Amino acid sequence: MEYKIDFLVIGTGIAGLSFALKVAEYGRVAIVTKKEAMETSTNYAQGGIASVFGQYDSFDLHIRDTLEAGDGLCNRGVVETVVKSGPERIRELINWGVAFTQDSAGKLELDLGLEGGHSQKRIVHAGDFTGHAIEQALVDCARNHKQIDIFENHIAVDLITYSTRMKRGLVTAAHEDRCCGAYVLDTKSNHVHTFQAKITILATGGAGKIYLYTSNPDIATGDGIAMTYRAGALVANLEFVQFHPTCLYHPEAKNFLISEAVRGEGGVLIDSHGRAFMEDYDPKKDLACRDIVARAIDNELKKSGDDCVFLDITHKEPDFVRERFPNIYQKCLSLGTDMTKEPIPVVPAAHYMCGGVLVDVYGKTDIERLYAVGETACTGLHGANRLASNSLLEAVVYAHMAAEQAVKELESISDEVCDALPPWDPMGTTDSDEAIVVSHNWDEIRRCMWNYVGIVRSNKRLLRARNRIETIQKEISDYYWDFKITSDLIELRNIAMVAELIIQSAILRKESRGLHYNIQYPEKDDKFWRKDTILRRPFVG
Ligand code: FAD
Ligand code: SIN
């Protein structure tokens, strides 16, 4: 089946949906999403969105905190734009129906939380389930919009691109430079459809599932980064993988995050003897930036041989804790920990990808008619380490800027989108009877990345990881072309590709900065390394 639309949006998180709602006034929109619409990282966000609303806060302070966290790699212009657009975008979310928590004085002002690295209270939140409140409101708006169709259980396989330059005879060998949609597998019917679009937007989220332990849901397999890299566009800064310091440590607690807002309200990290250890690492103690706290926990665990550390907020009034953190309280209680009476066992886990598809200030990639917004993009906001709660902010601000630009671009595109789209080539025609190989490779990649490309890296471990991933890549490549594709196989190919790119980027950066720490180069080197790590697939003519 072939669909022809104005805008193809890949992903139903905050980035994809807020983009879609803006451009739908100007053209027909198809949104594809690989599971149910609500199944996104956005839906699980807890802490909130950072923005300047506080009496003592200012844009300058938010800009300063963001730059400090980014450790010399943020793009200052981008930081200023994003921070200054924050309040307007948050008012827009409220208009779309998001019910943020009001302050308890009942003055109908937003209640503001505090998180690591912020010098002021500026986290706009909806209890401790901010993401769910946003996701539900945006999905409802999109479902009710006449110009938007949502295709659930549709996974994008690859972008459809072609070269305008080669056709005009300007160059003989070049990367394809224009996007006209994507091939998309309907995972219920197992058919691959062609979505032909004048403008394509990747809003595919993060890549936490590349690691064995992660706060991310299953959808976070770096598909957008892998698809764009395969298409020949630039990707950047993939060595900067953020590990959240506090995920619940419990065999049944798959991916459950304990929000940094718990430390913002006074929670203290302690070891198994009850010793508060963060004062040994940073003057800001438990509210130091995430890279520092995650490395501190990693160090404590290596020293003690313990499985986890603990987050203690038992000194706060139980009623306050239950009311401020209803979601976390209930989850911990269901697994046997009453956080008002006992400390919560926690460990770090892969949480956020600071790098991604390289975009300009309008969210445009270097392939014409292809945009990337949200966690899959690398905008220059986060630099070497993202400040807490700046991700949802970046996603709505960039969705807004990209939408404005895309609407202008649409006017200049004629009805004939691409001259002749090549049909989907079904490749292997037989069903795979070796699903075990796929799951085995998945597991091996995730373990390898956790063990060798984690919070603390070394040259030896990175090279070991590179060798392992290369071997697995070869196996996947054989397997991929031999059998009919499935969503597991598509995701496996993507996590292997993004793993390779993370390792390659980490090997290239010969210093330690922000989230990237290599024991062979423990210092920051501003003279040679205050620059982005940018990769492009070598052209195979
Ligand atoms: P997502 O919300 O992840 O959406 C990605 C979408 O793309 C999904 O619909 C997915 O199905 C779809 N998709 C992916 N690949 C394909 C494909 N091949 N084909 C079709 N569809 C595809 N950030 C903050 O700022 N504040 C917080 O408090 C906060 N808390 C967090 C808590 C948790 C537990 C997690 C995991 C993250 C948190 N973050 C937070 C980070 C933030 O939630 C994410 O960075 C942000 O929601 C990403 O939004 P997005 O729209 O880019 O992607
Ligand atoms: C959290 O609530 O700790 C997550 C915030 C974030 O990832 O920005």
DSSP letters for 253-289: -TT-B--THHHHTT-EEE-TT--B-GGGT-TTGGGS-
State how far the Cα of 280 lies from the Cα of 448, in Å rounded to an integer: 30
- What are the chain's domains? 2-239+354-406 (3.50.50.60), 243-349 (3.90.700.10), 435-527 (1.20.58.100)
Is the separation of the CB atoms in 348 and 245 below 8 Å?
yes
Q: Is the CB of 222 under 6 A from ligand 1?
A: no
State how far the Cα of 399 lies from the Cα of 402, in Å rounded to an integer: 5
Bridge partners of residue 49, in order along the sequence: 124
Share of the chain above pLDDT 70, in %: 95
Which amino acid is residue 510, in one-letter code?
K
pLDDT digits (tens, 9 = 90+) for 370-383: 999 999 999 999 99
Average pLDDT for residues 201-220, to the nearest whole number?
97
- Rounded to the nearest whole angstrom, what is the distance from the C-alpha of residue 479 to the centroid of ligand 2? 38
Please choose from 43, 62, 82, 260 the residue to mutate so as to test ligand 2's pocket, defined by most ligand atoms within 8 A of CB. 260
State how far the Cα of 41 lies from the Cα of 204, in Å rounded to an integer: 10
- Rounded to the nearest whole angstrom, what is the distance from the C-alpha of residue 469 to the centroid of ligand 2? 30
Q: Is the CB of 12 under 6 A from ligand 1?
A: yes
Q: What six digits make up the tokens of 87?
A: 């309040």
State how far the Cα of 482 lies from the Cα of 19, in Å rounded to an integer: 37
Helix or strand or coil: residue 442? helix
pLDDT digits (tens, 9 = 90+) for 269-315: 999 999 999 999 999 999 999 999 999 999 999 999 999 999 999 99
- The pLDDT of residue 465 is 98
Helix or strand or coil: residue 321? helix
Length, in residues, of the chain: 541
State how far the Cα of 21 lies from the Cα of 534, in Å rounded to an integer: 32
State how far the Cα of 487 lies from the Cα of 244, in Å rounded to an integer: 27
Inter-CA distances, 385 with 39, 117, 157, 279, 450, Å: 26, 11, 30, 21, 19
464 is a catalytic site residue: no
Q: Examine the pLDDT at 414 and tell me if it is beyond 90.
A: no
Among candidate residues 23, 39, 273, 295, the one with its CA nearest the CA of residue 152:
39
Please, which residues have CB within 8 angstroms of residue 338's CB and are 6 or more apart in sequence?
332
Residue 50 CA: which ligand is closest?
1
Q: Which residue has the higher pLDDT, 175 or 407?
A: 407
* Ligand 2, atom nearest to 258 Cα: 3
Residue 375 CA: which ligand is closest?
1
State how far the Cα of 73 lies from the Cα of 534, in Å rounded to an integer: 13
**Range in 366-375, 380-389, 419-428 the model is least confident about:** 419-428
pLDDT digits (tens, 9 = 90+) for 326-347: 999 999 999 999 999 999 999 9
Please choose from 14, 123, 134, 257 the residue to mutate so as to test ligand 2's pocket, defined by most ligand atoms within 8 A of CB. 257
- The pLDDT of residue 363 is 98
Q: Is the CB of 392 under 6 A from ligand 1?
A: yes
* Ligand 2, atom nearest to 46 Cα: 2
- The pLDDT of residue 485 is 87
- Rounded to the nearest whole angstrom, what is the distance from the C-alpha of residue 42 to the centroid of ligand 1? 4
- The pLDDT of residue 428 is 63
pLDDT digits (tens, 9 = 90+) for 40-85: 999 999 999 999 999 999 999 999 999 999 999 999 999 999 999 9
Q: Is the CB of 86 under 6 A from ligand 1?
A: no
Q: Which residues line ligand 2 (CB under 6 A)?
A: 46-47, 259-261, 388-389, 391
- DSSP states along 94-156: HHTT--PPBPTT-SS-B-EE--TT-SS--EE-STT-HHHHHHHHHHHHHHT-TTEEEETTEEE
Which amino acid is residue 28, in one-letter code?
R
Which band of pLDDT confidence, cut at 50, 70 and 90, is reported for residue 425?
Answer: confident
Helix or strand or coil: residue 458? coil
Q: 424 φ, ψ to 5°? A: -60, 130
Q: What distance lies between CA 523 and its chain's CA centroid? A: 27
**Range in 95-109, 213-227, 355-369, 498-512 the model is least confident about:** 95-109
- Rounded to the nearest whole angstrom, what is the distance from the C-alpha of residue 205 to the centroid of ligand 1? 4
Q: What six digits make up the tokens of 342?
A: 């006992």
- Rounded to the nearest whole angstrom, what is the distance from the C-alpha of residue 34 to the centroid of ligand 1? 13
Q: Examine the pLDDT at 175 and tell me if it is beyond 70.
A: no
- The pLDDT of residue 173 is 47
Which band of pLDDT confidence, cut at 50, 70 and 90, is reported for residue 170?
Answer: very low
Which band of pLDDT confidence, cut at 50, 70 and 90, is reported for residue 172?
Answer: very low
- The pLDDT of residue 333 is 97
Catalytic site residue from 89, 122, 263, 290: 290
Average pLDDT value for the chain: 94
Rounded to 10 degrees, the C-alpha dihedral 292/376/93/56 comes to 30
Average pLDDT for residues 119-134, to the nearest whole number?
97
Is the separation of the CB atoms in 379 and 532 below 8 Å?
no
Bridge partners of residue 113, in order along the sequence: 123
